[in-house]
């Protein structure tokens, strides 16, 4: 099974009895000063909104450049900078590809681990996983319990059983 991750995505693979999550975290590694300033501001405040806009500008200045991060939607040739790898097909039990908005269930809200995400996908489907993310987002509209840059994010999931 070949996998490729770029931008705000995580691939989760169950293989050989373990679960591995691979994320392209390069966006989180840029604009550190702006990110820290935004995180220090009160959730939901005007100051935080302004600092978020500053962070986005700083991030965009580093998009699709060496030392920055890569997004194919903005430049298809960025796919050449993707993280990628393979697993022997017979070793893979199940796998999923999630955007960061869907991965929030684990990465931001800690309401499931990666194995639990695969369980939800297998037993209840992608819709239920996304519903759980949306429930958590609505339950923390002020972003105080789970600090994040925006109340909601796009959420897309692909689930695979080889």
Model confidence pLDDT, tens digit, residues 36-52? 999 899 888 899 999 99
Q: Give the per-residue pLDDT at 11.
A: 97
Indicate whether 74 pLDDT > 80: no
Q: Give the per-residue pLDDT at 162.
A: 80
d(CA 143, CA 44): 7
CB 105 within 8 A of CB 111: yes
| Band of pLDDT at residue 73, cut at 50, 70 and 90 | confident
Indicate whether 23 pLDDT > 80: yes
In three-state secondary structure terms, 9 is: strand
Indicate whether 81 pLDDT > 90: yes
Where along the chain do its domains lie?
Answer: 1-24+83-162, 26-81
Q: Give the per-residue pLDDT at 143.
A: 86
| Band of pLDDT at residue 77, cut at 50, 70 and 90 | confident
Cα angle: 28, vertex 58, 106; to 5 degrees: 25
d(CA 40, CA 37): 5
Q: Give the per-residue pLDDT at 125.
A: 97
The average confidence (pLDDT) of the chain is 93
The 3-class secondary structure across 105-150, one letter per residue, is HHHCCCCCCHHHHHHHHHHHCHHHHHHHHHHHHHHCCCCCCCCCCC
Model confidence pLDDT, tens digit, residues 107-154? 999 999 999 999 999 999 999 999 999 999 999 998 889 988 788 999
Q: Give the per-residue pLDDT at 103.
A: 97
């Amino acid at each position: 099974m070949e996998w490729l991750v770029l931008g705000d995505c995580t691939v989760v693979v169950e293989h050989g009895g373990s679960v591995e999550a691979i994320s392209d975290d390069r966006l989180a590694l840029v604009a550190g000063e702006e990110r820290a300033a935004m995180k220090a501001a009160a959730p939901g405040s005007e100051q935080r909104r302004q600092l978020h806009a500053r962070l986005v500008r700083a991030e965009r200045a580093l998009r699709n450049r060496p030392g920055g991060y890569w997004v194919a939607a903005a430049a298809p040739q960025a796919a050449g900078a993707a993280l990628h790898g393979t697993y022997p097909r017979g070793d893979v039990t199940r796998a999923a590809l999630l955007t960061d908005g869907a991965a929030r269930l684990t990465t931001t809200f800690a309401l499931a681990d990666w194995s639990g995400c695969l369980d939800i996908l297998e037993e209840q489907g992608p819709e239920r996983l996304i519903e759980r993310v949306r429930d958590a987002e609505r339950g923390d509209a002020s972003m105080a319990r789970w600090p994040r840059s925006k109340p909601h994010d796009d959420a897309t999931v692909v689930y695979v059983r080889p």
